[in-house]
Structure 1
Amino acid sequence: MRIKRLDITGFKSFMERSVFTFDEGVTGIVGPNGCGKSNVVDAIRWVMGEQSAKNLRGRGMEDVIFNGSENKPPLSMAEVSLTFIVDETDQLSPQYQGFSEVTVTRRLFRNGDSEYLINKTQCRLLDITELFLGTGVGTKAYSIIEQGRVGLIVSSKPEDRRHLLEEAAGVTKYKARRKAAERKMEATDANLLRVTDITNELEKRLEALSRQSKKAEKYKKLKSRMRDIDLHAATHRQLELMAEKKMLQSRLENLGSEERESLDRVKELEETITRRRAELETETAALQALAAEVHTLESSLQRDTQEMSFGQRNLEETRARVAAAQAELDGLVARKTEMSDAMAAREAELSGIAGSWKEDEVAMQVAQEELRRVSQLQTEVALRLEQERAGLVAVATRLANHESNLVNLARQRGDLDGRRAKLQGELETLRAQELELENVRGDVAKRVEDTRHLAAELAERKGQEEDALTRTRTAFTENEIEVIALREELSDKRSRLSTLEDIQKNYDGFDRGVRAVMTRAGVTPREQGIFGLVADVITVTPRYERAVEAALGERLQHVIVESRDKGVELVEYLKGHAEGRGSFLPVPALDALPPPLEPDFSRPGVLAHALREVTCEEALTPLVQLLLADVIVVQDVATARAWAESGGPACTLVTQEGEVFRPTAPSSAVSARARPWARSRRSAKSPSWPPRWPGWRSATTRFSPATTRSRSRWGTRRASSRAWPRTSTPRS
């Protein structure tokens, strides 16, 4: 790898983007002191992953960012990109092979964030370090030689010089990978040690947990039996309570209907009395209003009569004044006529007497003044006469109105007297009806009192029913809790069954070769000449499962094939595909087998012949006889020891707990714990496992009707409690 170009932006003294191109040959950078020559080398070292600020001639890593000057502000980021030309002899990582150039970029922000990029793709510092491993390029490689570095290399120790030689030879990256692999192996060893400790601890707890599980199963069985007995008793009690409840409900409904009818009748009578009373009060108020109106009309009539008499007197006085005024007017008219005649005479005399005109003029003025006074007096008398005539007309009009009002009032008084008599008759009728209703009300009140006594009795029964309802609710809650527990247990069992089925399907826990052969056979192994595993084809009596499992041991995971050739073919398959090892059992001919050993059941502690406790399909009977012909199940270790000491026939003795005594090593015994793969497949294929589900379903089904009956009984009692009649006190 050879440097082609260096791009610097914001790094130390380089504020603006600066590009350095390195052409073929030797490239030198010259300049005065302080111009930034050393900063170019620091930029190359920094972009290749240098993490020490001291090696970059700074106190902190943020010192590499341009801090500003007198004329330029500081920057918030420093960025350096270094471009290499990749030669054909360079050995790079697979993801970078095929590129003619590789560009490494590093950015640093003032907030401490940093970014690394290779070919403009974000990466880790580790990726950049691995890129430069073995190429001679790097922060500590020989590609950067500073002042005094040559003397340091010459005077350094052989180990340090060896590091430079390994870097030049390209061995460094392999040593780095070896160290990383060693660290991973150490971590794996620590994890394995921890797993071993945990496994040992769990194995110590297995026996205690086994005893606890047996006790728990016994407790569950007793608890289930007790629950069934309680449910049976509760069901009988529930049926008795339901029959009694139906009888009480029918009687309660009859009494309730009678009480409702009585209450409805009382309510109707009370409404009738209230309505009649309201009508009576309305009529009484109307009668009082009419009486007040009559009194008002009588007062108005008396007042109008007085006003009419007063008006008649005023009319007579006015007529008298009118007559006097008329007479005075006539006198004035006559006097006016006289004055006119005198004036005419005076004028005649005036016209005849010219000499005495001054006296006549004075007399004439006096006469004119007298005439003016008389005219004025005449005008006043005429005005008074008109006023008197208007007052007379008004009095006549009022008199006519009063007469009309008197006639109307007399007619209204007659009508009011008639209505008063009618209302008096209706009042008497209503009083008679009220007396009759009071009698009926007494009878109804007596019946209501009887109904109240009956309601008190029913309330007492209601309390008893509510107590029974409370007990039913409690039983319902308990049933719900039990159903929930059963459902949770059913869910756990289903989950376990699913897990065991997956284990059986994937052959987990078996040898690699066995798993490869069975996986290759798929779902149709018989068509390929494979009968299956020994653990899959045999069925053992549950009592002797552990004993048979211990006797067979590792042979449980042997593969049964139809012939020896088929076994050789499968062995060749495992060898050719490097799938591990496997054991194959061809089915022998029945006539080629020795007769099975017949145990002496008269011996104490001899329980069974293992061959008789195992069933399989008829075609595999010879194979089972081959495996278990000499296996005898005994009660305990003492029985096995007694058998061996008595010189009985050579056979394999196995106890119910799984201790095995082989004839080849009579003094040794193997305590066989159930192997995980054998236990899982036995549980998955055990005939006692699936039939247990119908039991759970029947238990759930048994609890479901009880829960349904409790729920229906609860709802019925709630409805009946809401339907209890409420006692009401009739209004008096």
Structure 2
Amino acid sequence: MYLKRIELEGFKSFADRTVIPVERGLTGIVGPNGCGKSNVVDALLWVMGERSAKALRADAMDDVIFKGAEGRAAAPYAMVEVILGDPEGKIVEAGGELAVGRRLFAGGEAEYLLHGRKVRRKDVREVLLDTGLGVQGYMVLAQGKIDAVLAANPEERRSVFEEAAGISRYKARKHEAKLKLKRVDQDLARVEDVLEEVSRAVRSLRLQAGKAKRFVEMRDRHRELRVRFSLADHATWSQQDKELRVQEGELEKQVESLRTERDQVQLKLAELEKEESVLRTRHDALRSEAGEIKEKAAGLEERVHGLETRASEGETRIQRDRLRLTSLASEKQEDADAASGLLEQQTRLSDGLAKTEIILKEAEAAFAEAREARRSQRDRMEGLRRTVLDALQERTRWNNEIAHAAKRRSEAEGGQSALKRRRVEIAAESDSSHKEFEELGLSLSGLVTGAETAQETSSKIAQEVSRLKDERSGYGKVAHEARQRRASASARLEAFQAIDEEMPGVPDYLRKFLAAKHEGVGGWILEDVHIEQPWDRLLENLLGRLQHAIWLHDSGAAQDLADGMYDFFFPMKGDMEPAPAITGTRALRSLLSGNAAACDSLCARLGAVYCAEPDVDVRSLAQQHPQALFLSASGAIQGRGYLRCGVLAEDSTGRLARRNERDLAAKTLQESQIEFDRAFTLEEAAAESLSSADIAAGEAEIVLRKAVADREDCRARFDAVERRAKALKEELSAMDQEAKQLAEVVQSTTKVESDAAKRRDVIEETRLRSNQELEQLQGVADEKDVSFESASQAQQEARVEHSGLETEFKHWRTRHAELLTRSEKQTREHGSLETEITDLDKGCVALREEAERARIERTSLLERRVEIAGRVDDAFAQLHRASEVLHGARARNADESGHMERLLEKRQGLALEVQKIQMQLDELIRGVVEEFGQPLEDLARSLEIDIESPLPEDADAYAWRQELHQLKKKIESLGSVNLDAVQELEDRQERETFLIRERDDLVAGKTNLLDTLEELDIKCRERFVETFQKVQGEFEHIFRRLFRGGKASIQLEADVDPLEAGIEINVRPPGKDLRSINLLSGGERTLTALALLLAVFQSRPSPFCLLDEVDAALDDANVERFVDVLSDFTGTTQFLVVTHNRITMSRCERLFGVTMRKRGVSMVVSVELDQVAGEGELDLSNAEAVDPARARLAQGASADRVVVEKEMEAG
């Protein structure tokens, strides 16, 4: 691989799209400081995936976007793209290009690009692995990084060797494998936790399934007893309610009689209360009037005191105002004296202002005359200066014209010499290209045939691999489905087995009876009776508690029975008569199989029972055959005046249904096991075939890739030779035309030089004459300046004096205005004080007269108060007599009300009893509805309980009520019951099986990952040791070349795994002892580090390398040796050198000058130094070579100076 070009746009100072084409060999990047050379280095690091802003010489990543400059707006994004050629087809097709790009938008959005398509940073890293390119590799070597190789500790130096060894790909895979291993460990821990939880749930559900059966049986018995006692309690409470309502009616009549008498007494009481109220109102009015007179007298006394106080204050204020009048007269006399002095000052200021105005006008006239004279002299001199400047500009223009013509003539003459040399080179190159073209044509024909054959073989093998993968996938899917069915069936079998072992709902005394194994006892009646679905659940529902009946071989075996209810069946005597046939149905006996005697006994106990399919109208059959009972496959039982629906909707199952489902699960288990074994065998066979096919496919792919690579390499070389021959032919044609143009340029530029020299001499004579006249006028201008300054000074002094008098006159006016204002204010205050004194005299007299009238009115009010006090005492005596009469009437009314209250309380007690009984009845009915979801009467009818007589005559009500309480306690002790336990058990067991399989898969995956890590360690170790040994040999050789002798070596740490060992560096420069690298000088450290890095390049060359001022610490002799060594690598690696050293620049094959035509915006100027001929002449075969900057570089001028000249020339 090799670097073809670098494209930058909006990156740092490269605002415009800039393309830097890179050829093979040594390329230099030069330019003044701060022009953007290092930005090219940053661009390469950034596009290869650098994520540290500090490494890119930035504070934040968005600092790489062009921020704007003078006259240039900021760029919307930064983009860098490098195009790599791949002639060997390592990454892309042989002879193709690999385009790697990176783009960052101002909004923060970033993206990586491969061939223009968006990819991840990881994808770019994987593509460039083991190529030597990347942020962590040795693609870019800066001065700081060179020194960091030596400054780093032994462990940190490994990164360069690992990149050279090509183990970066393996380390990346190892890192991914470790991450996968960590995730597998996490997944395995989670699966173990979940599996443990599911296993606990399975054990719990097995118990819950049995618990659910017991719950259903106790619930049914509890419901029956609850309904019977609810009906009995309802009847009792209804009778008590009737009796209490009769007593309540009698009390109501007595209360009505007492209420009439009480109303009459209350009318009389109201009259007495009205009379008492009138007397009380009169008494209160007299007391209120006496209080008002008292308050009014007190108010008059306070008013007298206030009026006298106000009169005293008025007299005090009159005295104060008379003192102020005396003070105002004194102030008025002082202001009159001050006004007389101001009139004298006014006269003096007016005379002074008139004199200064005359002086000021005379000074201004003299100043204007002097200013006009100076301006006239200056205008004349300015005209002469413009004439001199115009002459200078013209002279410069003609000098530039002469220089430009001479430059063009020199370039044209150099181009003519270069064309002659190039013609000789083209002739020799054409002969060699023709021979190579014929040889490559023959080789290409054979390689094309070989590649086609390899392609055909690889396609056939790929088709076979695809077929085998599909086949294995199909078998795997079948095996997985069979495994799931097997797990489900196994779980159901275990659940049913657990339920049968627990025997939920079977009383303990029945279990003990069977466990005793009495002679003649056969076991449960349903053990040897079989019937298909759905008749099994219908029959169980019809049998009820008869499901737990016991089969006896002889009726005499029913002996030694413990307390409890027993149901026995035993063989019938004689043959059972077959049930008459009914169209559309089948007799129950015809569906039963197993123990014939047991089946006959069951049918005899149940009577005429028929089974009908869902499409048969059972209702009509029941009406036609009233003595028969019909079972419908839809889940209904009807006949004999009875109907039960929804039997199949219940979750509970009995012994018959469980046995049928258990048999079905066992059959499913056996079938799924056979199917799983078959699919698993076929899957393993397909996997073995697929493994063999994968190996063959890999081998065919290797052969194909080699054949394609050889073919494409040969084709690329063939095309290159063909293009080169065509280019040579075109170049010869262009050279003929160019030679003709150069001759014309030499002739025209000679004539232009002669004409321009003549015009320049004429302009120079004009300039000298104007310059002499200008010197003569300068003396006159100096005299005019002195006169102007004198007139200006006199004018300024007159203005200052006039301004001072004006300011003083302004102050006089302000003082005069203040005296007038104060005089007017004093006059107004004098008038207001005299008016106020007169008003205050009148007010004091009026106040004292009003106080005397208030004293007279207060005396009159006190006399009236004594009269009203006697009338209040008479009204109080009348009110007391009326109150005593009213109190007696109220006492009689209270006695009658007490008797009526007692009757009301008794009536209320009866009403509460009625309400209590009614609430008990409502609570009873509501409790039944809430508990069972049906009204009490509907429950009684569904359970065939007589509503009028719910408790049989021979029933022990106390024992039944005790049984009801016990059942309630047992149901409550069961707690929450999971009625879906059986189905949940199946689901959880299937989940458990799946988790076990997942755990096994994770364990197998973990083993594979550990094996992969071990294999990667082996490969990394082998490649690292091999590369280290190569670098070890090259390092000493390059070190001796750079130092002209000495010794150097690198070693791995002893007794440490090569994958973990650090790298020690030992050097001995010529003429010195063996020393630590920390004791080396700056130049020695740089040469040592360069020797080590170049040794790495020698062992595994990178496509290109960028050296950023690595020669800065070297003197000229060391630079010569460094460039000599570097030239040995240019055949396999492209080197781009950022430098200021003239020796390094002179050894470069081409130079890129980075400059700033506009401040803040970088541009690139290219120079091909291999086109510079001897003696400093420039070969003009390249169109870009017609540039004096390149000639200056070829002649050894400073690169920075040449770039500056190029920038100035461009304007």
* TM-score when normalising by structure 2: 0.21
Pair member with larger Rg: 1
Larger RCO, structure (CA 8 Å, separation 6 or more):
2
* TM-score when normalising by structure 1: 0.33
> By percentage of residues, which structure has more helix?
2
